[in-house]
Structure 1
Amino acid sequence: MGKLALPTIQIAGGWIIDPSQDRDEIGDLWISRGHILPTGASYEEAEIVIDARGLIVCPGLIDVHVHLREPGNEEDETIATGAAAALAGGVTSVACMPNTIPPIDSQAAAEFVVLQGQRARQANVYPVGAVSKGRKGEELASLGQLVAGGAVAFTDDGAPVASAALMRRALEYSKMFDRVIMQHCQVPELTVGGVMNEGFESIRLGLAGMPDAAEDIMVARDIRLAEITGGRLHIQHISTARSVELVREGKRRGV
């Protein structure tokens, strides 16, 4: 169907939330020929009326941390099924983590994800490239080639970049491409064998715990590295109060 043949749609009575337009209100949204019409004007009767009472009407959401199991574990999920599930939930764009088999650590791997996302014709799919080759934390991946392949950020998610020297180089190089390093903050030596937070409950259950400091130490380190390099840092899945404080302090310093 061509754009000129698209029907006029009235989304009626929904809770409209759009920060870009400073809208947070109950009202109607009109769409004509594929375009949202200005608010406040009166329009002719719509060809399609959607009752949105009790529902939220907002721009498509963006999920910056998803795990699509392709390549390597397609029996669990593919890029197509994951993108379809995202769209069904109102998420129109996803950034997928590189902890696949093989990892997204090359231009070809990033291009594969982009192509599969385009073929799916569902939510927009953006690959996040690995920081290190093979996600082994030893050698910096070819960040420039990953960007050329479509990578929108870098992470070894599922594993931390444990080496401070490697993390520093990653922040320096990613700055050249205006990309963010997304870090899984966890000091490996403090969490070996751990299955839960260290504390009374871990002792009571007889299970190996992971101390808060395992996260706090790396959060503090990486904020400082971002500060001295001018790189962009996103700390993933924060779980301790001290980490939250460190992030706030870093933001106040302009990191």
Structure 2
Amino acid sequence: MAHRVITGKNVVVTGSNRGLGLQFVKQFLSKGNSVVATARNLEKAVELQRLAQEHAGRLTIASLDVSDPASIEKLPSQVPWDRVDVLINNAGVAGSFRSLEDTNSDVMMDTFRTNTVGPLLVCQALLSSGKLGAPQSAEGAGATIVANVTSKMGSIDDNGSGGSYAYRASKCALNIVTKSLSIDLKDLGIDTILLHPGWVMTDMTSGRGLIDDVTSVKGMISVLEDQPELNGKWFDYKHEAIPW
């Protein structure tokens, strides 16, 4: 029931040097898209450098620290196109899954800065530069997709185990930010959606999880392509709606 095919598009993926972000880059490239992949430390992004050589002209590597507003302001100048068709806000931190006793102000604020404020400012920067949103000639809404990678741990309804205060709160806050974006950006031809990747075996989870990154990302991209309605919605990689 495909409604849109993401091929031949301009895609930006944040946090791309490993894990889900790197896998997003690989799968979008394999589908014939042009990609800007961001990383905090370009020297450590060895696999991205290899991919850039393999996909010369279609993969641009950009420096971006989503916890740093000054770094975010420089992002639009590193995007080589006039318009971004798909933005994947993937960069994030675990914030240490700490207990109540171990949680402190620094952990809370650092986690919020990356997981909540960062994606919002990335949207803001690309929007103000004119690179985000449908061109005036486009018919109807949804010509552009902003997908924010969240976690079911940010669901109030799903929280049955407590703990992980910084991570849960930052993702819950990202969810409400995304909901507001879905309202404010709708008339600009932008669909804003939340994606839950599942419990994925990555460095962030210390290799623990139920699925690999290939399965997770393939599922999330299929959500973007196959779900009839994206704006303001929250799905996991299996196309299941997540309770808020």
Q: TM-score, normalised by structure 1?
A: 0.37
Greater relative contact order, per chain length (Cα 8 Å cut-off, separation 6+): 2
Relative to its length, the structure with more helix (as a share) is 2
Relative to its length, the structure with more strand (as a share) is 1
